[in-house]
Structure 1
Amino acid sequence: MPTPAERPSVLFVCVHNAGRSQMAAAFLTHLAGDHVQVRSAGSAPAATVNAVAVDALAEVGIDISAEVPKVLTVEAVQASDVVITMGCGDTCPVFPGKRYLDWELPDPAGQGLDAVRPIRDEIEKRVRELVDEMTRVS
């Protein structure tokens, strides 16, 4: 197992840090365990995590009910190797030497569970691809 200093770090960012970024961070933590340092944040964080996102992840055995939306900081971006944005637009600070990915995904805010399940499934697919890419031996 890599030491904390050797672990790659991924930051997921969306506007409210209540749905997409929380689901992505939970999937990456679930799939990669201690092999990757995972962060999530929002440019304008909500007061609570989206209850439908909590329910959608509970359906696949992941509990995010205790998570709290966090504000995006320059320090979080600087400390991350990969920054994955999900609709935060131009509010994400950009630093040289960081890898940036933009995942265009619908916002689950205000959506019912039937609408959020496909978003959850797409996030899981993309996170699995990211894990495969990050753990591939060069």
Structure 2
Amino acid sequence: MNTPEVLFVCVHNAGRSQMAAALLHHHAAGRLTVRSAGSAPASEVNPAVVAVMAELGIDVSREFPKRLTTDAVEAADVVITMGCGDACPVFPGKRYLDWQLDDPAGQTAEQIRPIRDEIDRRVRALLAELVAR
């Protein structure tokens, strides 16, 4: 049986997609392959995002923004976009979800926590659906 692969995509791959990938990776405990990428990657992961993830015991300090590639989209079973617009290539047979979430760029840890918690809620629901198959 193939392990399902999920790709999270946002513009800078410095906030939302990094949180989503880290949370899904954490909760999936090896049951899924998880990646993240950005259509225009930033130079580093948002330090406030690193801080709010550390509050949950999840270390993203060694992560770095990655460029979205056609190969990453082709490899994924589920592609979840988070504000990347038309930058994400679309392939027939892939499942696409668009999660409308506030961008944590320029926000404080206090403002980012609700975004993180909403991502966590959606990630847990996605995981339950994917492992039930």
Which residue number in structure 2 is paired with residue 119 of structure 1?
115
Distance (whole Å) between structure 1 residues aligned to residue 113 and residue 53 of structure 2: 9
Q: What TM-score do the two structures reach when normalised by structure 1?
A: 0.95
What is the CA distance between 1:95 and its match in structure 2? 0.2
Q: What TM-score do the two structures reach when normalised by structure 2?
A: 0.98
Report the AA paired with residue 121 of structure 1: D
Counterpart among 128, 132, 136 of residue 128 in structure 2: 132
Distance (whole Å) between structure 2 residues aligned to residue 113 and residue 57 of structure 1: 10
Alignment partner of 1:78 is 2:74: yes
Alignment partner of 1:91 is 2:87: yes
Distance (whole Å) between structure 2 residues aligned to residue 82 and residue 106 of structure 1: 21
Distance (whole Å) between structure 2 residues aligned to residue 23 and residue 53 of structure 1: 7
Counterpart among 80, 98, 121 of residue 102 in structure 1: 98
Alignment of structure 1 residues 1-138 onto 2, 5 Å: 6-137=2-133
What is the CA distance between 1:33 and its match in structure 2? 1.7
Distance (whole Å) between structure 2 residues aligned to residue 74 and residue 64 of structure 1: 24
What is the CA distance between 1:136 and its match in structure 2? 1.3
Distance (whole Å) between structure 2 residues aligned to residue 27 and residue 96 of structure 1: 27
Structure 1: runs of 5+ lacking an equivalent: none
- How many aligned positions are there? 133
Structure 2: runs of 5+ lacking an equivalent: none
Distance (whole Å) between structure 2 residues aligned to residue 59 and residue 68 of structure 1: 19
What is the CA distance between 1:82 and its match in structure 2? 0.2
Moved over 2 A (4+): none
